[in-house]
Amino acid sequence: MTAAARPPVRPIRSALSVFSLAVVVFTFALAGPRAALLMLIGLGFGLVLEGLRFGFTGPWRRMIQVRDGRGLLAQFMAIGLCALIAFPLLAASPDELYGAHAPVGIAMLGAAFVFGATMQIVLGCGSGVLVNAGSGNLMALLALLGFIAGSFLGTLHLEWWTGLGSLPVYTLQGSFGERAGLWVTLAGLTGLAALVVRLSTPGQRLPSPRLLLAASLVAALAILNLVVAGQSWGIVYGLGLWGAKAGQAAGMDVLANTFWLAPDHAERLQQSLLTDVTSLTNIGIIIGAFVAMRWRRDPGPQVPRGSAPGRLGILLSGVILGYSARIAFGCNVGAYFSGIATGSFHGWVWFAAAFAGSALALQARPRVLQWLSLSAAATPGGRVRT
The distance of closest approach from Cβ of residue 62 to other proteins in the complex, given in angstroms and rounded to an integer, is 24
> Is residue 222 involved in binding other proteins (CB under 8 A)?
no
> Is residue 359 involved in binding other proteins (CB under 8 A)?
no
Q: Which listed residue (334, 343, 357, 380) binds other proteins by CB under 8 A?
A: 334
> Is residue 300 involved in binding other proteins (CB under 8 A)?
yes
Give the residue with the Cβ less far from other proteins, 84 or 246: 246
The distance of closest approach from Cβ of residue 344 to other proteins in the complex, given in angstroms and rounded to an integer, is 7
The distance of closest approach from Cβ of residue 120 to other proteins in the complex, given in angstroms and rounded to an integer, is 21
Query: Which residues are CB-contacts of 137 (< 8 A; sequence separation ≥ 6)?
Result: 302, 303, 380, 382, 383
- Pairwise CA distance, residues 355 & 109, whole Å: 11
8 Å CB contact between 106 and 166? yes
- Pairwise CA distance, residues 151 & 245, whole Å: 12
Residues 123-142 binding other proteins (CB under 8 A) are 133-138, 141
Query: Which residues are CB-contacts of 183 (< 8 A; sequence separation ≥ 6)?
Result: 176
Burial annotation 255-269 (CB, 10 A radius, 16+ → b, else e):
eebebbeeeebeebb
Measured CA to CA in angstroms, residue 195 lies from 23, 77, 262, 347, 351 at distances of 43, 14, 43, 19, 15
The stretch near other proteins (CB under 8 A) out of 74-82, 187-195, 234-242, 313-321 is: 234-242
The stretch near other proteins (CB under 8 A) out of 79-87, 195-203, 284-292, 363-371 is: 284-292
Q: Which listed residue (63, 211, 222, 287) binds other proteins by CB under 8 A?
A: 287
Q: Is the dihedral of CA 173, 178, 182, 184 positive or negative?
A: negative
Q: Which listed residue (14, 65, 190, 272) binds other proteins by CB under 8 A?
A: 272
Q: Which listed residue (121, 286, 320, 361) binds other proteins by CB under 8 A?
A: 286
Q: Which listed residue (77, 121, 144, 340) binds other proteins by CB under 8 A?
A: 144
> Is residue 290 involved in binding other proteins (CB under 8 A)?
yes
Nearest to 314 by CA among 111, 131, 146, 112: 146
The distance of closest approach from Cβ of residue 308 to other proteins in the complex, given in angstroms and rounded to an integer, is 10
Residues 159-188 binding other proteins (CB under 8 A) are 159, 162
> Is residue 149 involved in binding other proteins (CB under 8 A)?
no
- Pairwise CA distance, residues 64 & 262, whole Å: 41
> Which uninterrupted H or E stretch holds 215?
helix 209-229
8 Å CB contact between 57 and 123? yes
Q: Which listed residue (22, 305, 309, 352) binds other proteins by CB under 8 A?
A: 305
Q: Is the dihedral of CA 211, 214, 219, 225 positive or negative?
A: negative
> Is residue 277 involved in binding other proteins (CB under 8 A)?
yes
Give the residue with the Cβ less far from other proteins, 299 or 309: 299
Give the residue with the Cβ less far from other proteins, 64 or 145: 145
DSSP state of 313: H
Nearest to 320 by CA among 151, 157, 113, 201: 151
The distance of closest approach from Cβ of residue 221 to other proteins in the complex, given in angstroms and rounded to an integer, is 15
Give the residue with the Cβ less far from other proteins, 6 or 96: 96
The stretch near other proteins (CB under 8 A) out of 55-63, 174-182, 197-205, 266-274 is: 266-274
Give the residue with the Cβ less far from other proteins, 207 or 306: 306
- How far, rounded to the nearest angstrom, does the alpha carbon of residue 11 sit from its chain's CA centroid? 32
Give the residue with the Cβ less far from other proteins, 215 or 235: 235
- Pairwise CA distance, residues 68 & 55, whole Å: 14
Q: How many residues bind other proteins (CB under 8 A)?
A: 82
Kindly report the length of the chain: 386
Residues 43-102 binding other proteins (CB under 8 A) are 89, 93, 95-98, 100-102
